Structure 1
Amino acid sequence: MKKQLVATAALLAAAAVALSGCSGSASASSSGGTKKIVIAEPVHGIGYLPLYAAIDEGYFKKQGLDVQTTTLTGGAHVNAVLSGNAWGFIGGIESAAIANAKGAQLEAIGGVVDRANVYWVARKGVKIDPNNLAASLKGLRIAASRHGGSVEIDTLYELQKLGMDPSKDVKIINNDVSGSELSLLKSDQADIAATSDPVLSEGISEGIWGQPIMSLPATLGKFAYSDIVTSKANVKKDPATVKKFDAALAQGMSYVLDNHAGAQKIAEKEFPTMSPSLIQSTLTRTYADKDWDGIGITDAALKVDLTVARQSGLLQDSSNPATAANILDLSYLPKNSN
């Protein structure tokens, strides 16, 4: 299974259309002393709340930055940066490593989600023995999000840890649209879903599945799961913007860590179709699983991410291995960043 990260015409067209609604240049532009920046995201997720808090609480504005997010599915968030249509993306560093193995020059400048926001759930009626997952899962259909995405990568890795061959022992079903695993399990097109919050909480609330049969935040530990990635050219051309961006992002992270009630309000604003109780249950799990832990990225957390991606077979970088030295630039983080 090899992820093709070279942008197709369709993906680039979709990215261009989605980004056309943003004022100014899609990547970064200056107007009246304020620099406009677009961050592409693969989904609009509660895990990204520190970024949203930095926007909603005006921390970026105080730094002279007008940061906007745009949701681009199917890997287009990476392609938007490669094509120059976005200044950066939020997502897995392994996506940058996969692109760099094909000749790109991307690097992470700060962290957001510090553990894998991935959980396995079983459709109601599917019997799972938690003490013998491998035998329980054999022959089942697993909805594992988009091909080459973090959810699939982590799932393939965990299946291998269980001694299973993902290409033979289970059937992987890729679903590009976040949340489509709800309908896949509800309509009996899949037995297991590898999902993330808030979709996890939605499925529990709707009775489609029960509590997770596996929690990857627990099994994988501290993990560079979702980070801010930009091009090395952007950093070299305008390091001052990177420093300002990191300063505001650090404030957004501190806000959600220290102000749970405020985080709830921002989440309700960002996800107006979700009930407050569903948002609260999602945030409760997020805090309990320690998904947020500062904007620093440790070498150990990066190593877990890259190891998982390589062993899953989706990161093939033996000729030019990603390392902390060539894919992280944390020199612009505020002092004492975790």
Structure 2
Amino acid sequence: MPKLRIAEVTRSIFYAPQYVAIEKGFFKDEGLEVELTTTWGGDKTMTALLSDGTDIALVGSETSIYVYAQGANDPVINFASLAQTDGTFLVSREKNDNFSWEQLKGKTFLGQRKGGMPQMVGEFVLKKNGINPQSDLKLIQNVDFANISSAFASGTGDFVQLFEPTASLFEQEGVGYIVASFGNESGQLPYTTFMAKESYINENEEIIEKFTRAIYNAQKWVASSSTKEISKAIHSYFEDTELEVIEIVVDRYKNQGSFASNPLISEENWNHLQHIMAESGELPKKIHYKTLVDNKFAKKVMNE
């Protein structure tokens, strides 16, 4: 087997099963040698995939829709689910034991970058809870992803939408307090999936099958293992984060069902993703489920 190149959109505890697959030898069991690169951003990840700079990308499914809508001759196909909810949390500057979404009205909300999936989910959840993002609060969306947490820490915003482990670290430091989960509020969707170009999948079906089996074995291991065991297994990927914080984050993601329990991508979740994109005005056109999702490998390894 050749070395398999994987590009992940960011380095996140959200992707714990992927790191488990490496650390626990599930890829090695399949005869696969993997090379993991963090490409930091959906646009860069997709560019790497389309230019053959990587074989497999771990990124939000919305990127495959954007590529297809632009008329790609070799579409990008989603073949295995990894994270099945949004991974962000609503953090309040003030401690609040009786939070309600109404409390955001008239306040300043520091959201995620416009056009990204976290921002789309954020606006979807606000609307679901009776908040008009454009008129009921002051919405800030022009801060670069890498600077959102520092902007909030320096005094910008009454509320902020943050990924882990920053949200938990802010709680520990008294900078802010988690009051709601966007993942719980928005429901299941193919938030982050493994995908590859259609031509690569067709030419390397054995590799894709082995890869999917390794991910499924890691997903089963995560589902049956304790928070401490999972955190210890992935700690080397987050050396700057204390094990105690990783445990808090893993527990939070595990309890809200963020880690997909199997690689299957359901049609219901796919349609929900497009509904959220349409609500935010970011869906270029509706793409049929079977056009960009191939569950063949997931079904095979799950039925073994």
TM-score exceeds 0.5: yes
Structure 1 residue ranges, 4+ long, deviating more than 6 angstroms after superposition: none
Match of 1:121 in 2: 91
Alpha-carbon shift at residue 310 of structure 1 (Å): 1.6
The residue aligned with 1:86 is 54
Aligned match of 2:80 in 95, 110, 125?
Answer: 110
**Residues 141 and 237 (structure 1 numbering): CA distance in 2 closer, same or farther, change over 3 Å?**
farther
**1:221 correspondence with 2:187:** yes
Which residue number corresponds to residue 6 of structure 1? none
Could you tell me which residue of structure 2 aligns to residue 304 of structure 1?
272
Q: Residue 99 in 1 paired to residue 67 in 2?
A: yes
Between the aligned partners of 1:79 and 1:129, the Cα distance in structure 2 is 44
What per-residue deviation string (whole Å, max 9, x for no partner) do you get for residues 293-328 of structure 1?
2221111122211211121111221xxx22221111
Structure 2 match to 1:264: 231
Paired position in structure 1 for 2:210: 244
Counterpart of 1:41?
Answer: 8
From 93, 101, 104, give the equivalent of 1:137.
Answer: 104
Please list every run of 5 or more consecutive structure 1 residues that lacks an aligned counterpart in the other structure: 1-33
The TM-score with structure 1 as length reference comes to 0.81
User: How far apart are residue 128 of structure 1 and its match?
Assistant: 10
> 2:7 touches 2:57 (CA, 8 Å); kept in 1?
yes
Give, in whole Å, the separation in 2 of the partners of 1:182 and 1:324: 35
Q: Which residue of 2 aligns with 1:185?
A: 152
Q: Distance in 1 between matches of 2:295 and 2:109?
A: 36
Kept in 1: contact 2:83–2:258 (CA 8 A): yes
Q: How big is each residue's C-alpha offset from its partner over 1:207-250, in whole Å with a ceiling of 9 and x where there is no partner?
A: 111122x2122222222211111111111121111111101111
Is 1:81–1:88's contact at 8 Å kept on the other side of the alignment? yes
CA shift, 1:139, in A, is 4.3
Structure 1 contact 141–173 (Cα < 8 Å) conserved: no
Does residue 290 of structure 2 align to residue 325 of structure 1?
yes
Contact 2:212/2:301 (<8 A) preserved: no
Q: How many aligned residue pairs are there?
A: 296
Asked whether the equivalents of residues 122 and 128 of structure 1 are also in contact (C-alpha less than 8 Å), the reply is: no
SS of alignment partner, residue 282 of structure 2 = coil
Which digits, 9 at most, give the CA deviation of each residue in 1:129-172, with x for residues without a partner? 733x24x3234433333332221110122223344443444323
State the partner residue of 1:158: 125
- In 2, are the aligned partners of 1:124 and 1:207 still within 8 Å (CA)? no
Q: For structure 2, which runs of at least 5 residues remain unmatched after alignment? A: none
User: Which of 294, 303, 314 is the matching residue for 2:262?
Assistant: 294
Q: Which residue of 2 aligns with 1:5?
A: none
Give the drift of 1:51.
0.8
* Cα distance change of structure 1 residues 283 and 248 upon mapping to structure 2, 3 Å threshold: same
Identity of aligned residues (%): 23
In 2, Cα distance between equivalents of 1:171 and 1:82: 34
- Aligned mates of 2:107, 2:247 — CA distance in 1: 32
Which residue is equivalent to 2:220? 254
Provide, for residues 190-221 of structure 1, a one-character-per-residue CA deviation record: whole Å limited to 9, x for no partner. Answer: 33211122222112112111122x21222222
| SS of structure 2 residue aligned to 1:211 | strand
Q: Secondary structure at the match of 2:297?
A: coil
Query: Residue type of the partner of 1:111?
Result: S
The answer (yes or no) to whether the contact 2:82–2:194 under 8 Å persists in 1 is: yes
- In the alignment, which residue of structure 1 is the partner of 2:21? 54
Structure 1 residue 286, shift from structure 2 partner: 1.4
1:234 aligns with 2:200: yes
Matched to 1:201, the amino acid is S
The answer to whether the aligner puts 1:146 opposite 2:113 as a matched pair is yes
User: Measured at CA, do residues 119 and 57 of structure 1 come closer, stay the same or move farther in structure 2, by a change above 3 Å?
Assistant: same
8 Å contact kept, 2:149–2:162: no
